[in-house]
Amino acid sequence: MSNWEYANDVPTSPWRSAMTIPRALSLRKTDAGWLLLQQPVRELEQLRGKPVTATLKDVKAAADLSALKEATAGPFELEADLMPSADAVFHLKLLTGAVEETVLRVDVPNRKLTLDRTRSGRVDFHKRFPGAAVTPVRLIDGRMKLRLFVDTSSVEVFVNDGETVLTSLILPTAADRRLELAVAKGELRRADLRVWKLASAWMGR
């Protein structure tokens, strides 16, 4: 989950760097050819607490996610079934403290997904660490499925059952986190969200 350009400079102790969560690989045939899918292994579902849900309709600005506040304060898993308009541009932000944010931005008309960690927390230890990863995404029958895993120092994103995957190391301060969903252009006609608090995967937790 790191990069050799800055791996030796990551300011963590006693451990430095980590593997991504384990994934199951499969193939899907599409009009564009075969796609390699990556999905979290099913065993991770054993870490889930009780689900918390929210259904949003006709979102054209910031959404009310107060129902998810407690569930997203620490490590969590989120599943989102989204129905955006064809011109929609929207984001999910993981906020920590007053200024830290990790941004997942979806640009539907340009078929682009961006994971931006430039203001995610501690980013000054190496010039190559702050930045944004960009990858193509698509709607399937007018919908997009997102699955996020947010841990103490990582964000992993799975789109449309693993057609697109992004993983990022982040180093936020040790403060409660908040999740923000907002639409900059167009609208989210419907968003069905489900969140689980995640227990530790370490034995004897």
d(CA 32, CA 124) in angstroms, rounded, equals 40
Q: For residue 5, is pLDDT > 70?
A: yes
Quote the DSSP letter at residue 3: -
**Inter-residue contact 114 to 53 (CB < 8 Å):** no
DSSP strand pairing (132-136 vs 112-119): antiparallel
Which sequence spans correspond to the domains of the chain? 50-197
Q: 141's torsion region: left (phi>0), alpha (psi -120 to 50) or beta?
A: left
53-79 pLDDT, tens per residue? 999 999 999 999 999 999 999 999 999
pLDDT digits (tens, 9 = 90+) for 144-197: 999 999 999 999 999 999 999 999 999 999 888 899 999 999 999 999 999 999
Residue 203: the pLDDT is 60
Residues 50-197, CATH architecture: Sandwich (2.60)
From residue 90, alpha-carbon distances to 61, 71, 157, 184, 186 in Å are 9, 22, 15, 5, 8
Per the CB < 8 A criterion, the answer to whether 132 and 109 are in contact is no
Pairwise CA distance, residues 84 & 127, whole Å: 35
Q: What is the percent of the chain where pLDDT is above 90? A: 87
What is the pTM for the complete model shown? 0.94
Mean local confidence (pLDDT), 122-150 = 96
Q: What is the pLDDT of residue 202?
A: 81
Per the DSSP assignment, residues forming a β-bridge with 57 are: 190
